[in-house]
Amino acid sequence: MSLLKFTSMACLALTLGACQSLFQPNLKAPLETKRDAFEHIKPGCTTPDCPLFNLDMVHFPSEPDLEPIVERRLLQLTRTDNDAPLPASLQAYESTFFSKAPARYGSYLQSKVREQHDGLVIVEVSSFLDTGAPEGTPGRGFINWSRPLHKVLTLQDMLVPGEEPAFWKAAEEAHRGWLVQNGLASDPKFLKDWPFKQTPHIALTYGGIILKYDVSTIAPYALGQPEIKLDYPRLNGVIKPELFPGRG
């Protein structure tokens, strides 16, 4: 019996959905992940305040194209100057960091799956550069990986064409709600010093679209990295319908 005939007979014995699952990934099942975490001390250092490098990274054995994207995003977080060249690899960054880092310095990098739903994998990347000072330098970012499209979704991929102004208008309204929730809406000095801004850190989570802000962007350092949530109902006609949870 030929392979083609055998496959056809097998499909006839199954429902259409089950037959299709022989050839397509089950997007309802979470993507398999593996975690790699370690802490390295600067080679040859024996004092209590040796520089440290920490990496906590998620891997995707069945999505090899996602691996270099996550690594690149982590490497982008290592730059203290946006014009600086990107390290060739995490290993190269570690080597360079240890060659230059004075005592008490620490570099921390992490990638983790924030959530998975509707064929999307939301990866959150973060960093923290500890210089021994009271305030370190944290960083954050998101990767919205579409399993059906096999690509990272940009904001333009998420939006109905021509609706970016409406998206940011909704974001500004959500920001006003964030101000009220945190007791800041009636503080004229805060409103003047920390106006609403756009952010590149956007996540298509199941409960709403999350906007993440770097420290000292829309609030003082002491308030950390604010998150503002946009509920999906207010984005009808703005976000592509297939990206609403449960509609894909």
Predicted confidence (pLDDT) at residue 22 exceeds the cutoff of 80: no
Percentage above 90 pLDDT, the chain: 81
The reply to whether 51 and 90 lie within a common domain is yes
Domain assignment present for 64: yes
Mean pLDDT of 79-94: 90
Q: Which residues have a Cβ under 8 Å from the Cβ of 203 and sit 6 or more positions away? A: 114, 122, 124, 142, 144, 209, 210, 212
- pLDDT band of residue 111 (cuts 50, 70, 90) is very high
pLDDT at 247: 76
pLDDT beyond 60 at 5? no
pLDDT on residue 241 = 95
Judge if 142 and 49 occupy the same domain: yes
Domain carrying residue 144:
34-152
pLDDT at 124 over 90: yes
Query: Among residues 152, 174, 208, which one ends one of the domains?
Result: 152
pLDDT per residue over 26-65, tens digit each? Answer: 677 889 999 999 999 999 999 999 999 999 999 999 999 9
Residue 215 belongs to some domain of the structure: yes
Tell me: pLDDT of 13 over 50. no
126 vs 26: which has the higher pLDDT: 126
Give yes or no: residues 131 and 222 share one domain.
no
Q: How would you label 91-125 residue by residue, b for 16+ Cβ within 10 Å and e otherwise?
A: eebbeebbeebeeebbbbbbbebbebbbbbbbbbb
Residues 167 and 110 in one domain: no
- What CATH number has the domain bearing residue 107? 3.30.565.40
Residues 41 and 127 in one domain: yes
Domains in the chain: how many in total?
2
Which of these, 146, 141, 170, 142, lies nearest to 158 by C-alpha position?
146
- Measured CA to CA, the distance from residue 3 to residue 5 in angstroms comes to 6
Classify residue 142: in a domain, yes or no.
yes
Task: Looking at the structure, tell me whether residues 206 and 218 fall in a common domain.
Answer: yes
Do residue 110 and residue 195 come from a single domain? Answer: no
Residue 245 has pLDDT above 80, yes or no: yes
pLDDT for res 230: 97
Asked whether the beta carbons of 90 and 35 are under 8 A apart, the reply is no
Q: Residue 103's pLDDT is what?
A: 94
Among 105, 131, 152, the domain-final residue is 152
Q: Sorting pLDDT into bands at 50, 70 and 90, what band is 8?
A: low
For residue 23, being part of any structural domain is answered with: no
Both tokens of residue 66? 């996602």
More confident residue, 11 or 47: 47
